[in-house]
């Protein structure tokens, strides 16, 4: 099932207007190793790396660019730390719309190369992504510039781009549909919170017994602690996490995330970067799932929930694996090291190495 087959539930434009590359309908895969190791019978991974540009942001871009095309826009302004930019660049290329992106200072170069491959024009801005004041200034400036030049303005947050983010709600719809009749918990990574809010709204729209938890790196804890503590408002902070894609120190959708998660019975979890990288490596080596670091954040939250006694052994728990491991080359070096693949003289040396390893 793809994005547009849920059109009646998220207010999509007519299918004949769709700018699509076949996004959505991603697999929900049961854990074979990590779940049992944590004492969980029903741990699932929603794997978004199979979307056309390698992340869930294609759901956002498909919806956003479809609306831009219907509006007659010939240019799009946006922001990105990586995945949003790649998705917007690809779908703008598909629609014949020029794409200009303000880039978070610490965005991985591999993600930037993907954006440039689609023809987008990129400029990094100092302290963008880390400083709430800089984030607010850039967002306000982009909105004004878009109005001035007649361009679309698309950022993957409901407070800026509700029509695009409605497309992300389909992830929650797909999970709720697959687990219909079961009690389940979705663990969602969060930077500005748009993904978590979208999934919560999708789960609520479908109905059933699903809750959504917000998981954040300790260096970008704008929402999770407030949610767990019973507060109603997110708090801006200077982002210090190294987890690409979650470096959003401003509030953005944070207040709405708190209300939506709490309304479904969810809470917040805060995890260390080092724990995230460790789970990224385990996902690859124990489950065969090649994830970007942000895609391992949810699993770090599951680990905490188990340790706190907040997740029953037979409850269905879903981790959102947001994007492919190809998205962040730096994190791969942590997993594999920088030593080159060895070269041997002949098959005899190869077979000797295999025997020694076994």
Handedness of CA 88, 192, 165, 74 (dihedral sign): negative
Give the percent of the chain with pLDDT over 90. 80
Q: DSSP labels for 216-251?
A: EEGGG-SSHHHHHHT-SS----------TT----S-
How far is CA 137 from its chain centroid?
A: 24
Q: List CB contacts of 204: < 8 A, sequence separation 6 or more.
A: 172, 260, 263, 264
Q: What's the pLDDT score for residue 14?
A: 80
213/159 Cα distance (integer angstroms): 20
28/316 Cα distance (integer angstroms): 12
How far is CA 147 from its chain centroid?
A: 28
Cβ atoms 65, 75 nearer than 8 A: no
Q: Which helix (H) or strand (E) holds 200?
A: helix 194-206
Q: What's the pLDDT score for residue 224?
A: 98
Q: List CB contacts of 146: < 8 A, sequence separation 6 or more.
A: 77, 152, 153
Handedness of CA 117, 240, 51, 91 (dihedral sign): negative
pLDDT for residue 329 is more than 80 = no
Q: How many residues does the chain have?
A: 358
Place of tokens 């917000």: 214
Mean pLDDT of 344-354: 94
Q: In the structure, what pLDDT confidence band is assigned to residue 27 with cuts at 50, 70 and 90?
A: very high
Residue 295 Ramachandran class (φ > 0 left, ψ -120 to 50 alpha, else beta) = alpha
86/111 Cα distance (integer angstroms): 7
> Which backbone phi and psi does 179 adopt, to 5 degrees?
-110, 25
Per CATH, is 3-55+165-335 categorized as 3.40.50.1100?
yes
- CA-based end-to-end distance of the chain: 43
Q: DSSP state, 284? A: I
Task: Give the residue with greater pLDDT, 128 vs 6.
Answer: 128
Task: Write out pLDDT tens, residues 195-227.
Answer: 999 999 999 999 878 999 999 999 999 999 999
Q: DSSP state, 166? A: G
pLDDT for residue 3 is more than 90 = no
Q: What tokens were used for 194?
A: 């748009």
Say if 3-55+165-335 and 57-163 have the same CATH topology. yes
Q: List CB contacts of 355: < 8 A, sequence separation 6 or more.
A: none
Q: In the structure, what pLDDT confidence band is assigned to residue 1 with cuts at 50, 70 and 90?
A: low
Mean pLDDT of 267-276: 98
Q: What's the pLDDT score for residue 143?
A: 92
Task: Write out pLDDT tens, residues 92-136.
Answer: 999 999 999 999 888 878 788 999 999 999 999 999 988 889 988
Q: What are the residue ranges spanned by the domains of the chain?
A: 3-55+165-335, 57-163
Q: In the structure, what pLDDT confidence band is assigned to residue 331 with cuts at 50, 70 and 90?
A: confident
The domain 57-163 is classified under which CATH number: 3.40.50.1100, 3.40.47.10, 3.20.20.10, 2.160.20.60? 3.40.50.1100
pTM: 0.93
Q: What tokens were used for 143?
A: 């909105």
293/305 Cα distance (integer angstroms): 19
Task: Write out pLDDT tens, residues 31-51.
Answer: 999 999 999 999 999 999 999
Cβ atoms 47, 30 nearer than 8 A: no
For the chain, give the mean pLDDT: 93
177/24 Cα distance (integer angstroms): 14
Q: What tokens were used for 295?
A: 């895609």
Task: Write out pLDDT tens, residues 41-100.
Answer: 999 999 999 999 999 999 999 999 999 999 999 999 999 878 999 999 999 999 999 999
Q: What's the pLDDT score for residue 268?
A: 98
Which candidate, 102, 92, 37, places its Cα nearest to that of 306? 37
- The 3-class SS string of 70-130 reads HCCCCEEEEEECCHHHHHHHHHHHHHCCEEEEEEECCCCHHHHHHHHHCCCEEEEECCCCC
Angle among Cα 316, 257, 89 to the nearest 5 degrees reads: 95
């Amino acid at each position: 099932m793809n994005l547009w087959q849920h059109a009646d539930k998220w207010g999509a434009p007519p299918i004949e207007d769709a700018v699509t590359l076949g996004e959505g309908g991603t697999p929900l895969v049961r854990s074979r190793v990590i779940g049992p190791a944590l004492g969980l019978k029903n741990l699932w991974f929603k794997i978004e790396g199979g979307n056309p540009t390698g992340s869930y942001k294609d759901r956002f871009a498909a919806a956003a660019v479809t609306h831009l095309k219907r509006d007659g826009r010939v240019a799009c302004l946006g922001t990105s730390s990586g995945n949003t930019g790649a998705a917007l660049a690809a779908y703008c290329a598909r629609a014949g719309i020029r794409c200009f992106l303000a880039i978070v200072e610490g965005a991985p170069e591999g993600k930037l190369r993907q954006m440039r491959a689609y023809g987008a024009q990129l400029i990094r801005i100092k302290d963008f992504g880390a400083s709430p004041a800089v984030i607010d200034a850039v967002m306000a400036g982009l909105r004004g510039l878009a109005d001035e030049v007649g361009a679309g303005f698309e950022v993957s947050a409901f407070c800026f781009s509700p029509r695009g983010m409605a497309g992300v709600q389909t992830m929650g719809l797909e999970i709720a549909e697959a687990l219909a009749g079961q009690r389940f918990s979705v663990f969602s990574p969060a930077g500005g919170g748009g993904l978590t809010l979208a999934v919560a709204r999708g789960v609520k729209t479908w109905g059933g017994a699903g809750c959504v938890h917000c998981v954040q790196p300790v260096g970008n804890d704008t929402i999770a602690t407030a949610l767990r503590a019973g507060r109603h408002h997110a708090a801006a902070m200077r982002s210090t996490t190294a987890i690409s894609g979650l470096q959003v120190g401003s509030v953005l959708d944070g207040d709405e995330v708190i209300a939506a998660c709490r309304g479904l019975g969810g809470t917040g979890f805060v995890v260390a970067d080092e724990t995230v990288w460790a789970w990224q490596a385990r996902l690859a080596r124990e489950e065969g799932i090649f994830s970007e670091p942000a895609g391992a954040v949810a699993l770090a939250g599951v680990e905490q929930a188990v340790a706190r006694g907040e997740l029953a052994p037979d409850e269905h728990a879903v981790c959102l694996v947001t994007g492919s491991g190809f998205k962040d080359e730096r994190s791969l070096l942590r997993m594999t090291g920088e030593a080159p693949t060895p070269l041997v003289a002949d098959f005899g040396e190869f077979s000797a190495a295999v025997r020694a390893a076994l």
